Amino acid sequence: SFCCFLRFDEIKEGDVVRHDGKRSDGYLEHIFKHAAKELFGMDVKEITYKALKNKDFQEVTLEKDGETVLRFAATYGFRNIQNMVLKLKKGKFLYHFVEVLACPGGCLNGKGQAQTEDGKPDKALLHQMEEVYAAIPVRLPETNMHVQKMYQDWLEGMDSKKVQETLHTKYSAVNQTASNLDIKW
């Protein structure tokens, strides 16, 4: 979130916006649409989630000329996260981006939410929260004047060396040593 760069007195109630996606945990949708446009020149209006093993492990793909060019996954709940880590270790998890959330059903379904008297999630309240969230207008980060100002004033432009150094990451293999914690999945 870029709110930390703004003074709170500049934000009015009508300024509340959200990213693309139907739920509070839908960054996958925003990033997928942005990647499709930036990498492949494709303007994706709606994305389709395909449930794989269960409703909390879903896949989104983009095809161009009969070839899958983007493969994203959304995985919620520790069982699905554990399966994802096992597949990663075996080199059989071929996704370009994965959205991971600990709570089954996503953040709005988390343990911090209201429950019924018998301790179960309040599905009516969950549905109501999703509707309220979906009613908030979508604004892409690149159209936000505060984000544009941050790029110009702090990052010295969109394609600057400072942007590359600050916002881009390079990954490399890490050698396993005896001092590493041995986490068994």
The DSSP line for 25-66 is TTHHHHHHHHHHHHHH----S----EEEEETTEEEEEEEETT
Predicted TM-score (pTM) of the model is 0.65
The residue written with tokens 């000329």 in the block is 65
Is residue 59 included in any domain, yes or no?
yes
Based on the fold, state whether residues 121 and 144 are members of the same structural domain: no
Q: What is the pLDDT along the chain (185 residues), one digit of tens a residue?
A: 333 344 444 555 456 766 666 565 568 888 899 899 999 999 998 888 898 888 888 899 999 999 999 999 988 888 888 988 888 888 888 899 998 888 777 776 666 676 777 877 777 887 887 788 778 777 777 777 877 888 888 889 888 999 888 888 877 776 666 555 555 55
Chain centroid to Cα 150, Å, comes to 22
Does residue 119 sit in the same domain as residue 76?
yes
Residue 31: count of CB within 10 angstroms of its CB: 18
Look up the domain containing 145 and give its range. Answer: 135-166
Q: How many other CB atoms are there within 10 angstroms of residue 109's CB atom?
A: 21
Domain membership flag for residue 43: yes
